[in-house]
Structure 1
């Protein structure tokens, strides 16, 4: 049912920090549940927590195990700013829909921060501002227009001219947009914390278990596993990230691309003022953040291919390029990589993911095409999928639905 991919290679920085282990059992017999979730990364964890909180019985399976897929490869810049600028997205899907998508993305980040606080999950979460630097997609005048588009949508944004940007942040660029209320966190600790909360609400976890097919009926769906036992559920959620394939999914403009990232040694005294999340209005764009202990995580150099062997062969070259770009941006930093890794992720031309019920399969729900907003979109997926399964209507579901 799912294409097997080498989702990441190298040593992501998050392995330098201990995350709580998540206990799983062996699936030795046929079982029944309200909802079966395939995938135990950040998306599966957020969805499991939302569904168990709503009172549903949940079973999660993963062919690797908790936290072992793409989640560890994320750089965890949890931003509401969608990859596609609001001004450009409005030209693609219309102003009203674009503004709704941006407002929902912002709400998702705020909701995530609130929920993590309510649950007391220790994941080094910090509220951060972000800087969107002028680049080859949006120059300084276009950034001014983008800031105005956000203001008209009810999203606060401050345009910084070149002199203000250099004076406040020490960055030499034509201009930037300053935004607020984004997040930086440890994605493995967050995922583990959410899964533990689901366990407290009687969720059941089995791994390694591989789903090979789903048989659907009017009242239920049956997940057939490679290990033999089946899982019968009222609903099935595919939270398999970038391994989702098209035998159940309708044709979309979703595609898989490759990305690379590095992390430096801790160096708190050399960090930029405000420790903003930083990304460029460029294609491909550079993106960076600081960790709680002062490392700098920096990624980019994305390329439009999914071949893992080719991707992995480029780790050294891409790491050098990213390190050099980081050094040019902040000459005081020691930009040498202490960690370097590569990964694959899904994206769409609009920057909006696909989330929702699979056409023709009302018992199966999926999420894919997260782009650079992975954790933010995972939160939106948890909200939409939980609403649908609970018999409610999510007002923004149409923005992300299959098809659109």
Structure 2
């Protein structure tokens, strides 16, 4: 498995992070129904869903809970996929593109309802989303995107430049306004999901590093660096952007991204409804608020080369992000109090790769989450849950490796 330093700097979520669930080293070989490799947001969602379905679950992580890329997320929980619906339609056809977008919307709603059912205290708030005109979509193309979404039954209203200025005080050529999205604290969400899984019997082992996995006789034997072995009926690889050697690389690449968080702002300086905001641009700017009135703003994405190069660019990239934020919202004090860099996975379509690895039906992998990591993590948990229940999710074909 390629090991990466997945983030650097000081993500804002770590300033008020919950206590991480306790873990221990594995003292002897272990047998379990499901082994989840990775204890970030994707692994936590999978473990909570599978324990809720009655599976015996063990989890391992080479660092420990919530110590990988999860703290670097800006946690804009939205159904809007990075690839516009009109673009995705040209890539994979209208039927599949519409199903992918509708499934993302369903996943956000399911996640909201599940958080409420479990009573997780993760500062969840409903949010509208503004998708601003940019260098990728503007004018008639942005209007056509809004019409395509509305025709697919998705909430989407095109705003002219004057409507955007009057309603939100932003000077752009237009925007798409949608509803039904969320803002939350990703570390508190992950912590809550892990604790719910533990209450149902999930066992946590860290630091433990997987070095090999082999399927035979109806099970998967996972060899650990410590010399121990875990035998499982199924394995879920939720390793984020550290791809296992057995995973295909031809449809996946690593991207670097950067983000800032400001000081708490007066509520009067924030935009109406504190909608999630992102641009129809490449690279795009994205922003949201926190519970205490900070503005989180990220962007300036670039192809990942190595950690040293990514981190060397942090000063320049976060300065640009701060300047763009100040230009878009002049009433905001855009001075960063927190700056960080992270890495995430991307695919040719912008859709994640979820399901059994080719040739290894008992080993599932969650890859390529792009800018919709938490939304796609929910979809991943649902698809894997259906597979382990002996069925197949109706949308599994869209996300298959």
Quick check: TM above 0.5?
yes
Correspondence for 1:265 among 263, 266, 291: 263
Shift of 1:272: 0.8
SS of the residue 2:241 aligns to: helix
SS of the residue 2:191 aligns to: helix
Shift of 1:143: 1.1
Q: Distance in 2 between matches of 1:350 and 1:254?
A: 10
SS of the residue 1:128 aligns to: strand
Taking structure 2 as the reference length, the TM-score comes to 0.99
SS of the residue 2:121 aligns to: coil
Correspondence for 2:254 among 237, 253, 256: 256
Contact 1:20-1:193 within 8 A present in 2 as well: no
What is the CA deviation profile of residues 175-205 of structure 1, one whole-angstrom value per residue up to 9, with x for unaligned ones?
Answer: 0000001010000000000000000100000
5 Å-filtered alignment, 1:3-402, equals: 3-245=2-244, 247-267=245-265, 268-402=267-401
What is the CA deviation profile of residues 110-159 of structure 1, one whole-angstrom value per residue up to 9, with x for unaligned ones?
Answer: 00000000000000000100000000100121111001101111112011
- The two structures, once aligned, show a CA RMSD in angstroms of 0.8
Q: Distance in 2 between matches of 1:15 and 1:138?
A: 35
Shift of 1:252: 3.0
SS of the residue 1:89 aligns to: helix
Q: Distance in 1 between matches of 2:341 and 2:107?
A: 27
Shift of 1:279: 0.2
Shift of 1:248: 1.2
Contact 1:169-1:274 within 8 A present in 2 as well: no
What is the CA deviation profile of residues 262-316 of structure 1, one whole-angstrom value per residue up to 9, with x for unaligned ones?
Answer: 0000013311111000000000000000001100000000001231100000111
Q: Distance in 2 between matches of 1:120 and 1:141?
A: 43
Shift of 1:336: 0.5
Contact 1:36-1:235 within 8 A present in 2 as well: yes
SS of the residue 2:263 aligns to: coil
What is the CA deviation profile of residues 304-336 of structure 1, one whole-angstrom value per residue up to 9, with x for unaligned ones?
Answer: 123110000011111110000000000010000
Contact 2:34-2:58 within 8 A present in 1 as well: yes
Q: Distance in 1 between matches of 2:60 and 2:20?
A: 16
Q: Distance in 2 between matches of 1:306 and 1:153?
A: 38
Q: Distance in 2 between matches of 1:169 and 1:218?
A: 60
SS of the residue 1:373 aligns to: helix
Q: Which runs of 5+ in 2 are unaligned?
A: none
Shift of 1:251: 4.3
SS of the residue 1:208 aligns to: coil
Contact 2:20-2:66 within 8 A present in 1 as well: no
Q: Which runs of 5+ in 1 are unaligned?
A: none
Contact 2:157-2:176 within 8 A present in 1 as well: yes
Q: Distance in 2 between matches of 1:306 and 1:368?
A: 19
The number of aligned residues is: 400
Contact 1:20-1:189 within 8 A present in 2 as well: no
What is the CA deviation profile of residues 28-58 of structure 1, one whole-angstrom value per residue up to 9, with x for unaligned ones?
Answer: 1001000000000000000000000000000
Contact 2:300-2:321 within 8 A present in 1 as well: yes
* Stretches (4+) displaced over 6 A: none
